[in-house]
Amino acid sequence: MVPPDRRGLPSALINSGASIAKIAIAPVLTLVVVTWGWRTAFVVLAVFGFAWAAVWLFVGREGPYTVRAGDGGKRAPLRTILSTPTFVGAVVGTFMMNGLIAVVLTWLPSYFETGLGFTRLEAGSMFGLPSVVGMVAMIVVSGTPTAASPAARARG
């Protein structure tokens, strides 16, 4: 088990999976769109999504720390959960992040193509650049001990 003050880096490595997926899949989807059209890209994503869900249905399991209501786990009222600062902060952060993702998904490829003069295929391939930068920054920053961590206090 990872101590609480060292959980940033493992969490960043797990979260980097989304960036890796965008980096790997964006050029492939661009090729599909250029060759067969955007509707085909939706079908391809749907097929892969259903295939992944089917695999996960048979492979995925509950984690070792799962507590079920019948196992004596204490349940909090929904209004208590929805009013915690952590939940409110997560909702605000998610709203802002989804806004940023919408801008990147909608305007970045168009900017690469129309504004900078790249071909559609090149623009789709460069679509992963923000993910590369974000993933590297997330891993570097999360590996740095915080001021409250024992490692930072030992240094001084």
Let me know if residue 16 belongs to a domain: yes
Let me know if residue 120 belongs to a domain: yes
Let me know if residue 49 belongs to a domain: yes
105 is in which domain, residue-wise? 8-58+85-146
Let me know if residue 151 belongs to a domain: no
Asked if residue 69 has pLDDT above 80, the reply is: no
Let me know if residue 3 belongs to a domain: no
The answer to whether 12 touches 139, Cβ cutoff 8 Å, is yes
Let me know if residue 47 belongs to a domain: yes
For 75, other C-beta atoms within 10 Å of its C-beta total 9
- The domain total for the chain is 1
Let me know if residue 75 belongs to a domain: no
Task: Give pTM, 2 decimals.
Answer: 0.53
**Tens digit of pLDDT for each residue in 105-146?**
778 888 888 999 998 888 877 877 777 888 888 888 887 666
Let me know if residue 63 belongs to a domain: no
* 151: nearest Cα among 24, 7, 1: 7
**Tens digit of pLDDT for each residue in 30-42?**
889 889 998 999 9
